[in-house]
Structure 1
Amino acid sequence: MNTHEPPESFTAVHEPDLFTAVYEGDEDTVVRLLRSGVSPESADAEGQTALYAAAVGDAPGVVRLLLAAGADPDRLSAGADAPLCGAACGGHTDVVRALLAAGAAPDLEEEYGFRALTWAVRRGCAEVVRVLLAAGADPDLPGPSGEFPLVAAARRGSPGCVRALVDHGARGRDEALAEARRWAGLDVAAELRAGLEAAHGPGHEYVTRRWEEEPGTVTVEVSLLREGRPGAGDDMQTGHAAIVDLLAAGGGTAGAPGR
């Protein structure tokens, strides 16, 4: 499954090339190529569109240029990946705003049943969640596993995501509260290591990093090492206790049926 990661490198087939300019964030060259007749809907040999590449690469200026030239904000890259989902997964708020302003459907479903809100919640991108909800994203559309976004946000440990969803009347508060209470009593790093071990087998070395990304919470990232280099990883936030306080106190404006 595509996790909306930008490519690590790109080898140009010819010069000048739109994708080279997109990956380098070279807006002047993008403008020149578009004016010379290069299509804003260009795709590479794998079917990846220029707009999607700019979206996952967090190049809002290039995204706006392609959209202004006629790129379809909802065209699925390689028939599977939505630019809005790629931007939301990466937490690229300015790109998300540009795509929505150009008419991107906030609830567009890409391959495997993912939507932009699903990705933003899973990655703990609270500002992106707020922008999507303000643009009309449905706070109750389930992700691929069938759970409400509020439950996924509580598991992620992002009070900002939870608060934004609650303020838009999101359903599933009882389930979300139970999930936050469960995780508040767990060692997040140990749980992440256990998950990686279950997926990749025992006997690996791990590296754990912690940093404050959302005020008031710590993000914990555990990387599995292969030959001394990260081979797989996962991360979560640690705001579960704050989420318990928020939901137990009835914070926000939620009160919709299905709590």
Structure 2
Amino acid sequence: MSTNDPAAGLFPALYEGDEDTVVRLLRAGVSAESVDDDGQSALYAAAVSDRAGVVRLLLAAGADPDRLSLGTDAPLCGAACGGHTEVVRALLGAGARPDTVEEFGFTALTWALRCGHGTVVELLLEAGADPNRPGPSGEAPLVTAAHRGSVRCVRALLAHGATARAEALAEARRVHAVGAEAELRAGLVRGHGPGHRSLTRRHGSPEDITIEVELLDAHGSPFAGDALQTGHAQIVALLTAP
């Protein structure tokens, strides 16, 4: 994108959350459907950067909420993966389809469940996301939520008629028996091989603890990681309640 092109200032402004500059550029005729030098759309960039105000400005200026950035990445999926609640609200309010499918079969609900973003899951289900649409691996949403250990996500899915209770119960029991940290380490070893140093972090409230495990390279820098919540015992109780 040429530095003489008025659109060249749009992406720096949106990354900085400079809404005044975004407004000025849109009024000057810069397209709300602009893309950067790599082909990434302005709306997707704003969505994954959690710039809700900029997202609303682009939508009001005509950006298509369902247009796939680079033909592969949906703004709603990017926002859901990051847990960007206000961006998700803005996109759904502008008519984004909650079950839009991006590359490899992911939907916003799949991302939100995998990452344990309970509020986003609730918003998507309230907007009509299918609580039983399988993820890319064919796994039922309730099983995904049970594996993650998110009690809030499980509750939301059950409230919207999610099925596969038996499979979800088996998964919650399995991870609870193994332990969330051991489950994470085993998954990282499968993906990256044994012998790496690692770092474990715990955060959240006593009622909603998240465990993160990162693998470290030879310089002590993290190069891979994953996280789970620790509500598996509560999920077992939920799924076995009469």
Q: TM-score range by the shorter chain?
A: over 0.9
| Residue of structure 1 equivalent to 2:3 | 14
Shift of 1:192: 1.2
Shift of 1:185: 1.0
Q: Select 2:212's aligned residue among 205, 218, 221.
A: 221
Unaligned segments of structure 2, at least 5 residues: none
| Residue of structure 2 equivalent to 1:187 | 179
CA RMSD of aligned residues (A): 1.3
Q: Which moved more, 1:170-179 or 1:14-23?
A: 14-23
Say if 2:69 is the partner of 1:77.
yes
Mapped to 2, the partners of 1:224 and 1:168 lie a distance apart of 37
| Residue of structure 2 equivalent to 1:87 | 79
Mapped to 2, the partners of 1:107 and 1:198 lie a distance apart of 31
Taking every aligned residue pair, what percent have the same amino acid on both sides?
68
Say if 2:55 is the partner of 1:63.
yes
Say if 2:132 is the partner of 1:140.
yes
Q: Aligned partner of 2:180: which letter?
A: V
Query: 1:111-126, aligned counterparts within 5 Å?
Result: 111-126=103-118
The runs of 4+ residues in structure 1 deviating greater than 3 Å are none
Mapped to 2, the partners of 1:53 and 1:111 lie a distance apart of 17
Shift of 1:13: 5.7
Q: Aligned partner of 1:248: which letter?
A: T
Deviations 1:137-185 (A, max 9, x none): 1101000011110010000000000000000010111111111111111
| Residue of structure 1 equivalent to 2:236 | 244
Mapped to 2, the partners of 1:219 and 1:75 lie a distance apart of 33
Mapped to 2, the partners of 1:197 and 1:14 lie a distance apart of 46
Mapped to 1, the partners of 2:159 and 2:132 lie a distance apart of 12
Mapped to 2, the partners of 1:71 and 1:47 lie a distance apart of 15
Q: Select 1:201's aligned residue among 190, 193, 196.
A: 193
Say if 2:25 is the partner of 1:33.
yes
Deviations 1:204-231 (A, max 9, x none): 1100000116x61210100111111111
Partner SS, residue 95 of structure 2: coil
Q: Aligned partner of 1:223: which letter?
A: E
Deviations 1:94-119 (A, max 9, x none): 10010000010000000000000000
Contact 2:175/2:183 (8 A) holds in 1: no
Could you state the TM-score of these two structures normalised by the residue count of structure 2? 0.95
Could you state the TM-score of these two structures normalised by the residue count of structure 1? 0.89
| Residue of structure 2 equivalent to 1:51 | 43
